[in-house]
Amino acid sequence: MKQNLFFNILTFDWPTEPVNFYFSDTDNGKCQVLYFTLFPNEIGSLFPNLVRNSTNNLFTTFTGETEGFQPLPINFQTENEDLIKRYYNRQVNFYFRKVKKQIVKVGFVKENQVWLKSRFGGTALYDIYEKFSLKVQLRTVSKFPELVLSYDGQSKVSKQSVAQLIQSISPTYFNWVLCENQLYKWKKSQEDESIDPEKCYPVINKELEAALGIPSELPPRDNRYPKYLKNVQGFFKKFLNIPEFRRFIPLHEGGFIPVSPARIDTTSEESNQLLFGSNQPDAVPKFALKRLRPFRKSPYPNIHLFFIVHSDDTEHAKTIKSHFDTGLGTFEGMQSYVDLYFHTATGFSVVFKNKENPIPEIEQELSKRHFDPEVKYIAIYVTPYSKFEKDRQKREIYYQLKEILLKRKITSQAIDPNKMVEQGMNWKYSLPNIAVAMLAKLDGIPWRLNTPVKNELIVGVGAFKHVDEGVQYIGSAFSFTNNGKFNRFEYFLRDEIDVLAGSIADAVKQYATVNNSPDRLIIHFYKPMSEEELEPIQQALDDLGLPIPVFIITINKTESEDIVAFDGGWNELMPSSGTFIGIGNDKYLLFNNTRYNGSNHSKADGYPFPIKLKLQCTDPELLKDMKAVKELIDQVYQFSRMYWKSIRQQNLPVTIKYPEMVAQIAPHFIGDDIPPYGKNNLWFL
């Protein structure tokens, strides 16, 4: 299928001649410090005794001739790329900050994010700012220097100053503040006595939003591609496609560059195929489940379902049970849809009265029940509070209940009765998702990948930052066979690298005990894996006598500050599912969506942005084999189709998504770990 793909990237010319940069080993207070990784290649000609290590710095005014600074001719095409990018980022920063008088937030590697005040969407409490990132890269997708222009969405800035808000709101809620057209970290700003809290206006984060009573906004489900493109095109036209900017960055004519056909490939046609009942293939679970049945029904012959419900919601529980049994609209019931047969015993359900603190009452009631070891139980928690509940203590009830049930080896499904009432007949669209999740929690298999079983192990590591504590937790090692069969997982903290290595090694050992030693280990990681993280994994494999290649695939969402591609040949602009694009240095954009055949696509399935993949291997030579690379990308794509919380395809593979989901929930548990029963099943769906 022909696509007309283009990037959100602009190219510009190299200087035709070397350019003099000026350097000193002494700071004059008006220059930029350079760490050793930014030193020019020939810096030894100016400072023969300079050692390139972390204890030494240099200082530069770049092209500004300054007393006490020595010139060095710089050939931009052969020079240290980090230095050249730093120079161009400085040019961009000067243009927007000094020439255009705009708000510029500088990132970790000196990339620039421009904040533009919007005339729309603000309220009496806050103003809206549109954010655009400009990142310089060299020869990534072309032969030229490149400027990636991305739209990063909106931020709210309070109309009340810190001095006004601090009377009623703790300063611990302040992170970034806007002060006289500059953004500062609040904590750091207070080290500068010239910054007046009367003139500091906080950028509204989630904590501040809750404290100010600003309603949370649901993530948009509409098509963001046209809006994104319209925004970056408007920014380009207003600020970049003008002679004033070209004096700083000599942009080529023609705007955003097309994707070279040599960079475009697609996953195999078989990647869209899933297996359902009796090994019958199909691509769309939404329709296939009803027609073909699940791949494997729950293995438990005796399933009992019971409710945990507040006394005000008992009628809602009866309605839910009725919909489970006989269906609602096009959903014909659990038996018909996922072969789920269960019994609900009279008087077994738990009805609690204390809505504010129900856990002690629920625990007391559960202790009175006789749980038959021959019966598999599933609890339906009819929650009085939605997942968007502002009160933290009320939100915690859901997690505490999950934990006390797991300790009793009981899986559970939460249902919001208010959502059911609000949706009315449309709740029939939620029931298939609930059915699939319940089947998976009861160890059934809704569908499986249609791929030959190979002797390899896939381990996924994902992370979620726990906002209340500011700690990053990691859920791992989620291990799978290559056909999508889930094995088990472990859970630990971010800094427990030795535990991560041991967990992955343990997964390999368990696999090797049941099967032969795997031919290779594939790790899907939520960020680039460092040598420090990889080394103990390799050591653990060596200790097991398994000198096998380890492939690491970093999987990131491309929500902002990054490369995106558009299909100019389709009104909705989203490239077809399975399209992947090489963007240099073993990195790829992969489009995961339900636009399978040309422009056929259901709006209800959403318009996800691509994910970005970076491939590494302990044997780098193996990444030169494009057949092996395509196979690894195919596998990421396939695992995005194994999400059993919904009948809709996701853009993130479950190897990353499932660990992230666990990492969202587990920090709320009172115990230090997940109950052992919870490590072998998908209770978190």
pLDDT digits (tens, 9 = 90+) for 533-542: 788 788 878 8
> What are the φ/ψ torsions at residue 267 (nearest 5 degrees)?
-65, 160
Work out the burial of residue 303: count CB atoms within 10 Å of its CB; fewer than 13 is exposed, 13-18 middle, 19 or more buried. middle
Distance separating alpha carbons of residues 169 and 158, to the nearest angstrom: 13
Asked if 518 and 479 count as a contact pair (C-beta separation under 8 A), the reply is no
pLDDT above 80 (res 171): yes
pLDDT of residue 563: 92
pLDDT, tens digit (0-9, with 9 covering 90-100), for 317-335: 999 999 999 999 999 999 9
pLDDT above 70 (res 23): yes
Distance separating alpha carbons of residues 166 and 190, to the nearest angstrom: 14
Amino acid at 5: L
Which range, of 49-53, 306-310, 611-615, averages the lowest pLDDT? Answer: 49-53
How far from chain centre, in Å, is Cα 394?
26
pLDDT above 90 (res 505): no
Q: What angle do CA 367, 684, 530 make, to 5 degrees?
A: 130
Distance separating alpha carbons of residues 547 and 494, to the nearest angstrom: 26
pLDDT of residue 403: 92
Question: Angle, to 10 degrees, between the axis of helix 431-441 and the axis of helix 285-292?
Answer: 70
pLDDT above 90 (res 545): no
Sign of the dihedral through C-alpha 467, 468, 473, 479: negative
Residues sharing a CB contact under 8 Å with residue 290, sequence separation 6 or more, in sequence order: 332, 336, 337
Q: Average of pLDDT values for 144-151? A: 96
Task: Scan for tokens 């949370």, then name that residue.
Answer: 216
Task: Scan for tokens 């055949």, then name that residue.
Answer: 597
DSSP class per residue in 645-679: S-SSPPSS-HHHHHHHHHHHHGGGSSSSS--GGGG
Sign of the dihedral through C-alpha 162, 168, 171, 177: negative
pLDDT above 80 (res 179): yes
pLDDT of residue 477: 63
Reported confidence tier of residue 406, pLDDT bands at 50, 70, 90: very high
Asked if 72 and 40 count as a contact pair (C-beta separation under 8 A), the reply is yes
Distance separating alpha carbons of residues 250 and 238, to the nearest angstrom: 16
Give the three-class secondary structure for 199.
helix
Residues sharing a CB contact under 8 Å with residue 504, sequence separation 6 or more, in sequence order: 459, 476, 477, 521, 523, 537, 540
Sign of the dihedral through C-alpha 400, 402, 403, 407: positive
Amino acid at 230: K
pLDDT of residue 54: 81
Q: Average of pLDDT values for 117-139? A: 93
Work out the burial of residue 682: count CB atoms within 10 Å of its CB; fewer than 13 is exposed, 13-18 middle, 19 or more buried. buried
pLDDT, tens digit (0-9, with 9 covering 90-100), for 208-266: 888 888 887 777 778 999 999 999 999 999 999 999 999 999 999 999 999 999 999 99
Q: What angle do CA 359, 681, 416 make, to 5 degrees?
A: 45
Q: Which token pair is 544? A: 């097991």
pLDDT above 70 (res 32): yes
pLDDT of residue 485: 75
What percent of the chain is modeled with pLDDT above 90?
Answer: 59
pLDDT, tens digit (0-9, with 9 covering 90-100), for 334-346: 999 999 999 999 9
Residues sharing a CB contact under 8 Å with residue 21, sequence separation 6 or more, in sequence order: 40, 60, 62, 63, 71, 72, 74, 87
Amino acid at 329: G
Asked if 47 and 39 count as a contact pair (C-beta separation under 8 A), the reply is no
- Residue closest to 161 by CA, chosen among 201, 191, 132: 201
pLDDT above 70 (res 528): yes
Q: In what order do the strands lie in the sheet with 112-117?
A: 9-11, 145-158, 126-138, 112-117, 103-106
Euclidean distance between the first and the last CA atom of the chain, given in angstroms as a whole number: 36
pLDDT, tens digit (0-9, with 9 covering 90-100), for 415-451: 999 999 999 999 999 999 999 999 999 999 999 998 8
Work out the burial of residue 677: count CB atoms within 10 Å of its CB; fewer than 13 is exposed, 13-18 middle, 19 or more buried. middle
Compute how many other C-beta atoms are within 10 angstroms of the C-beta atom of residue 408: 15
Cα Rg of the chain (Å, integer): 28
Asked if 232 and 149 count as a contact pair (C-beta separation under 8 A), the reply is yes
pLDDT of residue 561: 59
Question: Angle, to 10 degrees, between the axis of helix 392-407 and the axis of helix 359-368?
Answer: 20
- Residue closest to 502 by CA, chosen among 543, 555, 552, 553: 543
> What are the φ/ψ torsions at residue 95 (nearest 5 degrees)?
-60, -50
